[in-house]
Amino acid sequence: MPAEAVRVLVTGVVQGVGFRPFVYKLAEELRLRGWVRNRGCGVEIHLEGGRSAAAARAFLRRLRAELPPLAVIEDVSVRRVRPEGASGFRIKASAGGERFVFISPDIAACDACLGEVMTPGDRRHLYPFANCTDCGPRYTIVRSLPYDRPATTMAGFPMCPDCRREYEDPRDRRYHAQPIACPACGPRVRLSGPDGAPLGGGVDEAADRIRRGRIVAVKGLGGFHLMCDALNAAAVGRLRRLKARSRKPLALMAADLAAISRYAALKPAEREAIVSPQRPIVLLAKKAEIPSIAPGLAEIGVMLPSTPLHALLLRRVPLVVATSSNPKDAPIMKDAGEGVARLADFVLDHDRPIQVRSDDSVLRIAADGPLFVRRARGYVPYPQRVPDSLNRPVRTLALGGELKDTLSLYKKGRVVTSQFLGDLDDYRNYGYFRETLDHLKRLFEVEPEVVVSDLHPDFRTTRFARSLGIAHLRVQHHFAHVLAPLLEHGVDLGRGAKVLGIAMDGYGYGDDGQAWGGEFLLCDYRSYLRLAHFAYVPLPGGDLAAREPWRMALAHLHRAGLAADAPPRLFARVARPAPARLARLLDRGAPFLRTSSCGRLFDAVSFLAGLAPSRVEYEAEAPQLLEARAKAPVRSGYGFALDASAEPWTVSFAPLFGELLADLKRGTPAEVVSSKFHATLAAVMVRVAERARKERGVDTVSLAGGVFLNRRLVDLATAGLRRKGFRVLRSVLYSPNDESLSLGQTAFALAAPASAFAPAPSVRRGRRGRASS
């Protein structure tokens, strides 16, 4: 590396994260001269001087090795330039150019800031909004780029002289920390009562109210939490009634690891996740039961405080319920004016506006890494690089599906995927979807040329895509699912190369108009073949079947010819005469929609095992109750039948239901039934994959779909496939559920031929077709 002069361009998450002062200090330490400045595409560094070329090499090595906590380097390019005769090192004003800068996610308060908040005599003692370049709000406060204070929701808070001094000192950890604040000049909290009248006491008074059994709505980074004492059963019961949420698990926030360890077991990888700067909710195995928090489940979701406000609150009450402040099926509330007071006794608000709402992220740890249930605060909007073969000069917008939606924008080799947006069949979430789309388009200066949606003709996202008047591609649901892990892991597929995508979920609109959900797809980025699927069974009642598990239990028994053999007690908890009426319809061959859904298969088994209620309260309640019992060691699962006489091959579970009924008649415990069922599904995946390798030569498997939120199944399937020599890919940075659809849709669009980008009416292809365009 020449010592005279080099120009370095660094791209990634390198603005607004303390990267320039880090460069400044590193250059001074190595006695290098020159400058550093923000550019539209990243950070540019000019280096000259130094004792030898070794100094410049050391600079580049340490640039990557000693990054500030929030910085993420994507690329570093270096070129020789002429020396400028610099006499020292300085931070220059930002340069222009087309902007494509990545904003850091919101990050939990760092130890240094929390130390100041908890130290008597410090000027930020007990201040709830302390932050620096290493922590604090980012994504949820930025309004536009460049990322400067006037372009954030901190614009209305002029800095005091002390904060200004810190902000302008390159050696200070608050240099150019846009949300910098202190009690003299920054945001302030306000506690109000049920009538909206202000109360004194602030954070401490709010904590005391929680201790006395009251519910307090607390404004955080991305919206309000509803908080109450987790150990006060009466308070938890009231909160459940206010949210119309009788059984769905509630998230907890704990003051520290000691508070967590009293009620949950913490493995090393789980401990690492829970203390990470992202501060997600982590699902942990229960050690002691807390009544009404996660009834019937084996895990509780817990997080640590993410802001100084939360840390101050939990000094007085070490374990609280911290659930999103949303009415049923609506997005999280970010402003008190949205009606949060209707869900709480008191409101702890503050005057720093939230630009874009964002829920807490939720994950669990599988044997081979994180398994995201929900990706939001702390992780969005980190960019995702696409494989080289998909890097194209086109700007795309992918809209996802209808439930658990996200959207993805692509530009210049990177995809930015939004936070979890909820179910768009609710008008309030659809408004959130539009709000987030406008925000991301503005932040990243993307005006899409191509829009991608699901194949379903009636999804709101499909109708919205049609309204844009640009090239519109449509992608079959499960095809998009299995492409997402391929893009995430940077898989470049050579000519003729295929992978086996195993997509398991509750529902996706199929090419034949039926309800798919147990799919084996032989595919590349452009097209797929439906190689195999779970045998079709009736879907009695359509969407009602997903809410009433007994319907799928009866449908599977009928399909297997076993309905007459089922003991009447299995359906005794269903109001009469509904089961008998449905049985008659099935006998007569009523024209129900047909489904291959793995999610509905879980519903059926969970109900027959006596775990699922006759009507579920929340999505995947029946499968979660079944997974919670999968603890028994079993040598093998139940039987199944693979018919490969013609494509697509079919997997029949008639043998499974015959053996399951026999187990139930013998009084086999639910733990054994569940464990055998999970083993069966893993065995099916291995069997089909081996057959696909033998006949089609595939050795890579992509696991996708909401069923793979089941940690037991993920671990069994992954281990079984790897033992047979398969390369197994699954989403690690994204959720395998419908949140990842927009990422897979993006992959399809980038692989499509240029001719597909011409605006044209959408056309649905056949089973072997491109599944879109």
How far is CA 493 from each of CA 338, 698, 721, rounded to the nearest angstrom? Answer: 48, 12, 20
pTM of the model: 0.94
Are 220 and 140 within 8 A, CB to CB?
A: no
Q: Can you give the pLDDT at residue 54?
A: 83
Q: Can you give the pLDDT at residue 767?
A: 40
Are 60 and 78 within 8 A, CB to CB?
A: yes
Angle between helix axes 598-608 and 670-696 (nearest 10 degrees) is 150
Cα–Cα distance measured from residue 106 to residue 380, given in angstroms and rounded to the nearest whole number: 8
Side chain identity, residue 428: R
pLDDT 10s digits, 211-245: 999 999 999 999 999 999 999 999 999 999 999 99
Are 423 and 404 within 8 A, CB to CB?
A: yes
* Greatest extent of the chain over all pairs of C-alpha atoms, in Å: 91
pLDDT band at 99 (very low <50, low <70, confident <90, very high): low
Q: Can you give the pLDDT at residue 55?
A: 86
State the distance between the two ends of the chain, measured CA to CA, in whole angstroms: 49
pLDDT 10s digits, 674-720: 999 999 999 999 999 999 999 999 999 999 999 999 999 999 999 99
pLDDT at residue 346 above 50? yes
- Return left, alpha or beta for 518; rule: phi > 0 is left, psi -120 to 50 is alpha, else beta: beta
CB-facing half-sphere around the CA of 153: CA atoms within 13 A:
17
Is the torsion defined by CA of 337, 339, 342, 346 positive or negative? negative
Are 392 and 748 within 8 A, CB to CB?
A: no
Angle between helix axes 711-723 and 621-628 (nearest 10 degrees) is 70
Q: Which residues make Cβ contacts (< 8 Å) with residue 652, sequence separation at least 6?
A: 535, 640, 641, 643
Q: Which residues make Cβ contacts (< 8 Å) with residue 123, sequence separation at least 6?
A: 162, 182, 183, 184
pLDDT at residue 159 above 80? yes
Alpha helices in 469-548 (DSSP H): 477-488, 544-547
Burial (CB count <10 Å: 0-12, 13-18, 19+), residue 260: buried
- How many beta carbons lie within 10 A of that of residue 684, not counting itself? 24
Q: Alpha carbon 15 to chain centroid distance?
A: 24
pLDDT at residue 387 above 50? yes
How far is CA 23 from each of CA 32, 65, 758, rounded to the nearest angstrom? Answer: 11, 12, 45
User: What is the average per-residue pLDDT within 307-324?
Assistant: 97
pLDDT band at 51 (very low <50, low <70, confident <90, very high): low
pLDDT band at 97 (very low <50, low <70, confident <90, very high): low
* β 346-350/216-219 pair status: parallel
Side chain identity, residue 519: E
pLDDT band at 52 (very low <50, low <70, confident <90, very high): low
Q: Which two tokens stand for residue 1?
A: 């590396």
Lowest mean pLDDT among 14-23, 284-293, 314-323, 370-379: 14-23
Identify the CA nearest to 645 among candidates 502, 503, 532.
Answer: 532
pLDDT 10s digits, 600-640: 999 999 999 999 999 999 999 999 999 999 999 999 999 99
pLDDT 10s digits, 499-516: 999 999 999 999 999 999
Q: In a 3-state reduction of DSSP, which class is residue 322? A: strand
Averaged pLDDT score across all residues of the chain: 94
Are 408 and 745 within 8 A, CB to CB?
A: yes
Q: Can you give the pLDDT at residue 98?
A: 61
pLDDT at residue 95 above 90? no
Alpha helices in 111-230 (DSSP H): 111-117, 161-168, 202-211
**Phi and psi of 9, rounded to 5°?**
-115, 120
- Tokens 């008597």 belong to 120
Are 226 and 243 within 8 A, CB to CB?
A: yes
